Amino acid sequence: MTQIALTVGGVNIYWNAVLICLGIAACFCLTWALFTANGGQDNTLLLLLPLGMLFSVLIARTLHWDCHIEQYPSLFAALTDYSTGGFCMPGVLLGTSLAVLCVRALGFTGNAGRLFDCLAPGAALGIALIRLSNLFTSADRAKIVVTTPFLQHLPIAAPVTSGSGVEYRFATFFWQFLLMLLMSALLLRFFFKRRRAPMKADQPRDGNVALLFLNWYSALELVADSTRYDGSFLRINGFVSLGQIVAAFSLLGVLIVYTVRSRRAGSSRSFRIVHWVLFWLSIGVVGLFEYLVQRFGGMYLICYAVMSLACAAAAYINLRMYRSVCKAPTPRRARR
């Protein structure tokens, strides 16, 4: 597929840039709708957009420079010349979070948790479209080469053009697109159905949608980033990618938050211990099969299947911990 959408006065507009902007716009519109419907001000989001883009671009670019230093003459060139190179998604999430905190600090909103909640479904939608932009590049493909002719089409595989011709690789980006779309829908449903659910011991209701977004997205990235053939690795470690490291720590962070809240809500110690043990078991299984798939690449089917189940288990454990903080829903008969 041709990469350039149109040329305006010598400036090329690329298809993947169009999709990235579409993703940003979709995120903004959905966040706007949710935020203003819940009493938020327009100015908050109008300030959040440029701030979020500024911080995201700078942080994501710096991370990419650190992991792919060969692509840039210097850090300054990486931050000022955008004609080459790429970005790391963890930097985008970090930059957006920083922007929200800045907006809060400037007094444009009094409740950062609510803003994060409104941002979460939009972020999932935006990430879905940003992933789809890799349809027009050779990035975000899997290490697995698909040779069966009838499987060499989306959503199974996507072509990668090289000097030796075209080869078809598993379309990691497309599966991420589909799953993030689904996640966006789930988060929206959660936003409307559960955000106002009463919590035990006056635990905060705001922020739960965002935490669950982080939970599910981290579980997805822990597996998806392992499949990529162009992952970003820190210079101190060439086996586990930056995306996987951030995802694992994010899952852990969500568990810590909900463990603290669950303790304040009066959950039993044994309940928390059991869930922590299961969580570490899940992460351990993910680590073991990551090691196996790197050592025995031919076992990728079984390895990635087990890793997916283990990541789903870790996400479910976090969900259970969240539910332990919620008050039991009123039975329907009693409500009537």
Partner 1 sequence: MSENDLDQRLDDILKEFAENSSREPSPTALRPAAQPRPASGNTAAPETRPEPATPPTPRTRREEPTADAAAQPPEKREEPAPRRRARAEMRQSEREAGKKPVVNIASTLKAGLALVAAVSMLWALVNLHPDTTKTAAAGSGTRKTKFDMAERMNVFTANAASDALADLVYIPKVYTIPENDLVAPKPNPACFGETDDPAVIEALIERSAELLEGQEMIWNRDIVRFQGSTMRYYCDDTLLVVTWKELRDNSVLTMAEVKMADGSQLRRALAGNSYGSGVRMKATDMASAVNAVIAINGDFYDYRQLGITAYQRQLYRNNPALVDTAFFTAGGDMLFSHRGELMGEGEAQAFIERNDVVFAVAFGPILVEDGQAVQTLSYPVGEIVNQYSRAAIAQKDHLHYLLMTAGQEGNYIRRPTTNELAGYLAAWGVQRAYNLDGGQTATIAMQGTTVNRVDWDNERTMSDIIYFATAQPGEGENP
**With binding defined as CB under 8 A, does residue 164 bind partner 1?**
yes
For strand 4-8 and strand 11-14, is the pairing parallel, antiparallel, or unpaired?
Answer: antiparallel
3-state secondary structure of 34: helix
Q: Which of 31, 96, 109, 134 binds partner 1 (CB under 8 A)?
A: 134
Question: Helices H, strands E: what count in the chain?
Answer: 11, 4
Residues 72-111 that bind partner 1 (CB under 8 A): 82-87
Q: Which of 35, 55, 116, 136 binds partner 1 (CB under 8 A)?
A: 136
Rounded to the nearest whole angstrom, what is the least distance from the CB of residue 219 to partner 1 in the complex? 24
Burial tier of 161 (Cβ tally within 10 Å: 0-12, 13-18, 19+): exposed
Give the angle 231-318-326 at the CA atoms, nearest 5°.
Answer: 145
Q: Please name every residue paired with 8 in a beta bridge, in sequence order, or none if there are none.
A: 11
In angstroms, the CA 76 to CA 172 distance is: 31
In angstroms, the CA 79 to CA 68 distance is: 13
Residue 160: what are its φ and ψ, rounded to 5°? Answer: -125, 120
Rounded to the nearest whole angstrom, what is the least distance from the CB of residue 139 to partner 1 in the complex? 4
Rounded to the nearest whole angstrom, what is the least distance from the CB of residue 286 to partner 1 in the complex? 19
**With binding defined as CB under 8 A, does residue 69 bind partner 1?**
yes
Q: Which of 29, 94, 135, 145 binds partner 1 (CB under 8 A)?
A: 145
Dig out the tokens for 87 from the structure: 């970005």
Residues 219-238 that bind partner 1 (CB under 8 A): 229-233, 235, 238
Asked if 47 and 28 touch (Cβ cutoff 8 Å), the reply is no
> Which range binds partner 1 by CB under 8 A, 69-77, 192-200, 258-266, 324-332?
69-77
Contacts (Cβ under 8 Å, ≥6 apart) of 196: 205
> Which range binds partner 1 by CB under 8 A, 117-125, 132-140, 304-312, 323-331?
132-140
**With binding defined as CB under 8 A, does residue 36 bind partner 1?**
no
End-to-end CA distance of the chain: 58
Asked if 48 and 192 touch (Cβ cutoff 8 Å), the reply is no
Dihedral angle computed from the Cα positions of residues 278, 280, 282 and 284, in that order, rounded to the nearest 10 degrees: -140
> Which range binds partner 1 by CB under 8 A, 53-61, 218-226, 279-287, 301-309?
53-61
**With binding defined as CB under 8 A, does residue 260 bind partner 1?**
no
For the four alpha carbons of 212, 214, 219 and 221, in that order, the dihedral sign comes to positive
**With binding defined as CB under 8 A, does residue 294 bind partner 1?**
yes
Q: How many chain residues touch partner 1 (CB under 8 A)? A: 56
Specify the residue, 147 or 268, whose C-beta has the smaller distance to partner 1: 147
Asked if 176 and 131 touch (Cβ cutoff 8 Å), the reply is yes
Rounded to the nearest whole angstrom, what is the least distance from the CB of residue 279 to partner 1 in the complex? 29
Specify the residue, 274 or 299, whose C-beta has the smaller distance to partner 1: 299
Rounded to the nearest whole angstrom, what is the least distance from the CB of residue 228 to partner 1 in the complex? 9
Please report where in the chains the tokens 């507009």 appear, as a residue: 13
Specify the residue, 145 or 197, whose C-beta has the smaller distance to partner 1: 145
Specify the residue, 135 or 260, whose C-beta has the smaller distance to partner 1: 135
**With binding defined as CB under 8 A, does residue 176 bind partner 1?**
no
**With binding defined as CB under 8 A, does residue 296 bind partner 1?**
yes
Binding site for partner 1 (CB under 8 A): 3, 11-14, 16-18, 20-21, 24-25, 42-43, 46-47, 49-50, 53-54, 57, 67-71, 82-87, 134, 136-139, 143, 145, 162-165, 167, 229-233, 235, 238, 294-298
